[in-house]
């Protein structure tokens, strides 16, 4: 008798070991039809999987996030099936699930074209319409290698040959197509009806530029058409909001090949930068941080002591002088420890908070660079807290509260929390990692927020909380971090005098709220679609004259507002006012102040709000109070 425990705690007994499908059928025909896979004792399996002993089972349907992954993975395989049908000489390599879809890499003698994508989409739909069963087979490794070599699939043969001898090899068959995969997959191709092929790209085999350049086909797949339609609409909106496109339209910044991964800020873009930086500096100052400045280049020996040379060297720019090796700093932490060390600190001096807004450089791969979202030269709102072990929890709780307030001011209220735990490659004793991970998780519990765990995603020197915000399109952006580090202060010799007069190493909390200012500004551009709230807008108001007769008055109004600290421009061109209004609307200026003869004589301005709302004439003082209120309250 096999006992199967379901998620609601109920138990079903079977005379012989049942398959996942048989358990679903025993519950009801509707569930049997909806089942895509099963989770047996936490492991995802096919519906054909036979449960040989007592177990816990959850039936996975398309309502389950795992079910959507199964659909997407199966759709990737169906794409490969379609490619082999239309292009028999193409070789299949790998096809994983990614956010919102999948891709599959192929080796083929001719480049795929957009027309080929259309043909593949049609063929893929035909194959789904056949509703062919998807079945799993287990082969011996050497037999599988010989099989794929015999059909000319050398990439699959290479992958299988790299698997240790004796391990069973899972192959999936659907119609005439056989592919290597650990699964699971949907029961039949008829479950894969909502899909779209998105784009073509290049990718090196195994990510190595020394290998062949493969052709990558990206696609998306969903359980329901309305979900896919919503996703495609979101992509259209995202394209309109692309920060690179808006930067050109609004004259904010540019990048160029002579400085890959570096940003050329134009006046309006730099104004936005200054607003963000000054805001964050005020946050730091009011939260007890002291601003410091450390060298851009530090000797290799310091990076070796900190552990960066061994664990991070490939991402560092290096240089040499007078037979000494140096690295351009990719982060500020080792420098901040040097600022801590010269004075002998007491436990009464802790927590000690240092902040720095200075350039860092990381040698990111050129293919990963993306506008100002992924760059090589950047500035962080970088802060480090030196504290005792007993102070960790309170500092982490305070930091989460501070982060909430900052994100709220920038217009983000939906935040996700994740604790990234110890990676395989790390420094320090497990006992210290236990303490650090516990402190981070407990701080989030005390902050009253739910969080998930990301096993193995911590930094080499300590675990971290990742704070992810959700933008206006529902996209997720990981920005803030809080890292607990017992190791680096010890490695670099930082000490304080404890209450019992012994010398101890402080705990170092690495934290950033917005992270890279470049990336955060890119997120702001896309979140607001370039229409920044008045407190961030590079130009808060434009004073536009209707005729030349009002030009002196327009200049006086603009000057009066500038003296109050507002960012105001004049438009005195000999153009029709409708033209001026349209142009400044396209530039997404929050307020347009029109002055004609009536306004000049009355000492007023006719106020138009971005979006076309006409507030009518009002005294200049009344408008300045309105704008001051917008700025003070940071209205979005």
Residues known to be catalytic: 333, 362, 380, 382, 384, 464, 510
Ordered strands of the 134-139 beta sheet: 134-139, 169-174, 177-180
Closest CA to 68 of 184, 172, 197: 184
Neighbours of 68 (CB within 10 A): 20
Nearest-angstrom CA–CA distance, 509 and 464: 9
Nearest-angstrom CA–CA distance, 35 and 59: 6
**427 close to 487: Cβ distance less than 8 angstroms:** yes
* Buried residues in 135-145 as b, exposed as e (16+ CB within 10 A): ebeebebeebb
* Six token digits for residue 619: 């005294």
In eight-state DSSP terms, residue 314 is G
- Helices marked H in 569-618: 577-586, 597-602
**620 close to 557: Cβ distance less than 8 angstroms:** yes
**217 close to 197: Cβ distance less than 8 angstroms:** yes
Burial degree of 63 (CB within 10 A; 0-12, 13-18, 19+):
exposed
**66 close to 179: Cβ distance less than 8 angstroms:** no
Instruction: Report strand pairing: 359-361 vs 377-387.
Output: antiparallel
Neighbours of 414 (CB within 10 A): 11
- Helical (H) or strand (E) element with 517: helix 517-527
What secondary structure, in 3-state letters, does 367-433 show?
HHCECCCECCEEEEEEEEEEECHHHHHHHHHHHHHHHHHHHHHCCCCCEEEEEECCCCCCCCCHHHH
Closest CA to 625 of 611, 605, 610: 605
* Six token digits for residue 575: 């153009």
Q: What is the CA radius of gyration of the chain?
A: 30
DSSP string, 315-364: GS-EEEETTEEEEE-SSSHHHHHHHHSSS-EEGGG-SEEEEE--EEE---
Q: Rounded to the nearest 5°, which phi and psi values hold at 282?
A: -65, -40
In eight-state DSSP terms, residue 113 is -
Sign of CA dihedral 410, 413, 416, 417: positive
Nearest-angstrom CA–CA distance, 59 and 45: 10
- Of the chain, the end-to-end C-alpha distance in Å amounts to 63
């Amino acid at each position: 008798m096999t006992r199967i425990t379901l998620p609601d705690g109920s138990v079903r007994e079977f005379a012989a070991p049942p398959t996942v499908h048989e358990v679903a059928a025993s519950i009801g025909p509707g569930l049997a039809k909806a089942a895509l896979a099963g989770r047996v004792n936490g492991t995802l399996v096919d519906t054909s999987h036979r449960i040989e002993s007592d177990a816990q089972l959850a039936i996975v349907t398309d309502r389950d996030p795992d079910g959507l992954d199964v659909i997407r993975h199966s759709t990737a395989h169906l794409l490969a099936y379609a490619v082999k049908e239309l292009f028999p000489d193409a070789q299949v390599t790998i096809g994983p699930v990614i956010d919102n879809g999948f891709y599959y890499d192929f080796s083929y003698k001719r480049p795929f074209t957009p027309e080929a994508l259309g043909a593949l989409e049609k063929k893929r739909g035909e194959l789904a319409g056949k509703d062919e069963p998807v079945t799993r087979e287990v082969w011996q490794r050497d037999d599988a290698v010989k099989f794929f070599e015999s059909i000319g699939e050398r990439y699959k043969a290479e992958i299988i040959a790299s698997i240790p001898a004796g391990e069973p090899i899972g192959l999936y068959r659907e119609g005439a197509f056989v592919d290597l995969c650990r699964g699971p997959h949907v029961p039949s191709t008829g479950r894969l009806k909502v899909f779209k092929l998105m784009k073509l790209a290049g990718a090196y085999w195994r990510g190595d530029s020394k290998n062949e350049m493969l052709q990558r086909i990206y696609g998306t797949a969903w359980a329901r058409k309305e979900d896919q339609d919503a996703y495609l609409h979101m992509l259209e909106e995202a394209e309109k909001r692309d920060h690179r496109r808006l930067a050109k339209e609004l004259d904010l910044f540019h990048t160029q090949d002579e400085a890959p991964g570096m940003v050329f800020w134009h006046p309006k873009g730099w104004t936005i930068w200054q607003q963000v930086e000054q805001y964050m500096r005020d946050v730091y100052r009011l939260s007890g941080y002291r601003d410091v400045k450390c060298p851009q280049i530090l000797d290799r020996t310091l990076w070796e002591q900190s552990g960066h040379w061994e664990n991070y060297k490939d991402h560092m720019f290096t240089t040499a002088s007078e037979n000494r090796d140096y690295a351009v700093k990719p982060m500020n932490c080792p420098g901040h420890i040097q600022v801590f060390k010269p004075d002998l600190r007491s436990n009464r001096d802790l927590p000690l908070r240092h902040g720095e807004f200075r350039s860092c450089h990381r040698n990111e791969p050129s293919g990963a660079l993306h506008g100002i979202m992924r760059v090589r030269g950047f500035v962080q709102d970088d802060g480090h807290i030196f504290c005792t072990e007993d102070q960790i929890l309170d500092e982490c709780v305070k930091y989460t509260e501070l982060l909430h307030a900052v994100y709220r001011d920038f217009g983000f209220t939906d935040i996700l929390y994740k604790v990234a735990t110890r990676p395989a490659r790390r420094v320090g004793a497990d006992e210290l990692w236990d303490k650090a991970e516990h402190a981070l998780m407990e701080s989030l519990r005390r902050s009253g927020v739910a969080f998930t765990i990301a096993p193995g995603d911590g930094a080499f020197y300590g675990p971290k909380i990742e704070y992810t915000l959700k933008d206006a399109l529902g996209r997720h952006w990981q920005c803030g971090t809080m890292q607990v580090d017992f190791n680096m202060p010890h490695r670099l010799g930082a000490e304080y005098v404890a209450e019992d007069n012994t010398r101890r190493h402080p705990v170092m909390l690495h934290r950033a709220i917005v992270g890279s200012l470049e990336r955060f500004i890119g997120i702001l551009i896309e979140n607001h679609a370039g229409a920044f709230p008045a407190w961030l807008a590079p130009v808060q108001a434009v004073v536009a004259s209707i005729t030349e007769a009002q030009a002196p008055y327009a200049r006086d109004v603009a000057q009066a507002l500038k003296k109050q600290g507002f960012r105001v421009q004049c438009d005195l061109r000999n153009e029709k006012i409708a033209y001026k209004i349209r142009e400044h609307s396209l530039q997404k200026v929050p307020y347009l102040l029109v002055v004609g003869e009536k306004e000049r004589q009355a000492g007023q301005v006719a106020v138009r709000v971005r979006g076309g709302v006409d507030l009518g004439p009002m005294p200049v003082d009344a408008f300045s109070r309105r704008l001051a209120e917008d700025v003070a309250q940071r209205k979005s």
